[in-house]
Amino acid sequence: MANRKRTFFARLKVPAIVVAVAVLFFFLLDDVIMPQYVQQGKTTKVPDVIGKKLDEAVQDLAERGLVGKKAEVRTDKQYPEGTVVQQNPSADAEVKFGRGIYLTVSGGEPRVAVPGLRGRTLRDANFALERFGLVLGTVQYDFSEEYPQGTVIDQDLPESTMVTQGRVISIIVSQGKKGDQIAVPDVTKKTFADTERILIQAGLRIGNITYKVSPDLLPNTVIDQYPKAGEMVPPGQAVDLVVAQKGEKSIDLQN
């Protein structure tokens, strides 16, 4: 009796399986086989998908009967991350339906790790930033009990932070210990030779020299200085000078 029941139910399942297979075959025939048979030998133009998001590009290609395939990701300054930067075959190429179109996708601008600048001299810090394609920004000065004069105390972005190339990095440079400051002597109206001697004795040095015509002062006389006399600076600070050179007074042609 049990065997008869199993045979009965087995006979009922056979038509259901046959129906399922028939429905599946119908959809395959309608959606896959027939379109390929109808389009066999036909061609279409490849649309231009450069600059579009990957999903949008794949959809545009599918509407033309083509298959978008992600080929590679590469850094690119022109196109935002996730957009198509190159396609193969190129736009307007005549290809067969179902052809694969290989898409290169932008990974965004090149990114680099910010180098550690603490403890470096200002010169070394600038070189380190240039090696990574970064730019030295604002340089501020402050006293430091830990870092020697002229070395970097801090940076506005921590070491190893990932940034795009060309990013500006600002730093703080040590002026030395606060108690080490000395007063700048007054060297205006003194000869260049005397000025050099006075600055060396004070523990300072000559910085940039700008020459200016001054008919009222002898050549090589200091006209102005920076920092100004009396300002407190760390030992070894450079003092920029404006020095007189020989010249004549300008003539007022209106008189």
Q: Where does the pLDDT of residue 36 fall: very low under 50, low under 70, confident under 90, or very high at 90 and above?
A: low
Q: In this structure, are 119 and 156 located in the same domain?
A: yes
pLDDT at 255: 33
Q: Where does the pLDDT of residue 252 fall: very low under 50, low under 70, confident under 90, or very high at 90 and above?
A: very low
Radius of gyration of the chain (CA): 39
Q: In this structure, are 175 and 185 located in the same domain?
A: no
**Residues 181-206, mean pLDDT to the nearest whole number:** 92
> Pick from 108, 138, 153: which residue ends a domain?
108
Q: Is residue 22 part of a domain?
A: no
Are 134 and 166 within 8 A, CB to CB? yes
Cα(164)–Cα(67) distance, integer angstroms: 33
Q: Is residue 185 part of a domain?
A: yes
Q: In this structure, are 88 and 120 located in the same domain?
A: no
Cα(4)–Cα(12) distance, integer angstroms: 13
Q: Is residue 149 part of a domain?
A: yes
Among 134, 35, 166, 46, smallest CA distance to 95 is for 46
What is the number of structural domains in the chain? 3
| Phi/psi of residue 3, nearest 5 degrees | -65, -35
Is the pLDDT score of 193 beyond 90?
Answer: yes
**Residues 173-188, mean pLDDT to the nearest whole number:** 85
| Phi/psi of residue 38, nearest 5 degrees | -65, -40
Domain harbouring 116, CATH code: 3.30.10.20
Q: Is residue 16 part of a domain?
A: no
Tell me which residue range forms the domain holding 93: 44-108
Cα(27)–Cα(23) distance, integer angstroms: 6
Q: In this structure, are 103 and 140 located in the same domain?
A: no
pLDDT at 127: 95
Q: Is residue 175 part of a domain?
A: yes
Q: In this structure, are 189 and 241 located in the same domain?
A: yes
Q: In this structure, are 119 and 171 located in the same domain?
A: yes
Q: pTM to 2 decimals? A: 0.46
26 to each of 21, 81, 95, 141, how far by Cα in Å? 9, 42, 29, 79
Cα(159)–Cα(114) distance, integer angstroms: 5
Q: In this structure, are 173 and 203 located in the same domain?
A: no
187 to each of 192, 202, 207, 240, how far by Cα in Å? 9, 12, 13, 11
Bridge-partner residues for 4, per DSSP?
A: none
Model pLDDT for residues 98-125, shown as the tens digit of each residue: 999 999 999 988 889 999 999 999 999 9
Q: Is residue 200 part of a domain?
A: yes
Who contacts 125 (Cβ-Cβ below 8 Å, separation ≥6)? 117, 136, 152, 171
Q: Is residue 21 part of a domain?
A: no
Cis, bond preceding 89 (omega within 30 deg of 0): yes
Bridge-partner residues for 181, per DSSP?
A: none
Q: Is residue 77 part of a domain?
A: yes
Q: Give, in degrees to the nearest 5, the angle at Cα 100 between 94 and 106.
A: 105
| Phi/psi of residue 12, nearest 5 degrees | -70, -35
Who contacts 197 (Cβ-Cβ below 8 Å, separation ≥6)? none
147 to each of 138, 172, 240, 244, how far by Cα in Å? 19, 11, 25, 38
Q: In this structure, are 173 and 185 located in the same domain?
A: no
Q: In this structure, are 97 and 55 located in the same domain?
A: yes
Q: In this structure, are 146 and 204 located in the same domain?
A: no
194 to each of 76, 110, 185, 234, how far by Cα in Å? 59, 54, 12, 21
Distance of CA 59 to the CA centre of its chain: 32
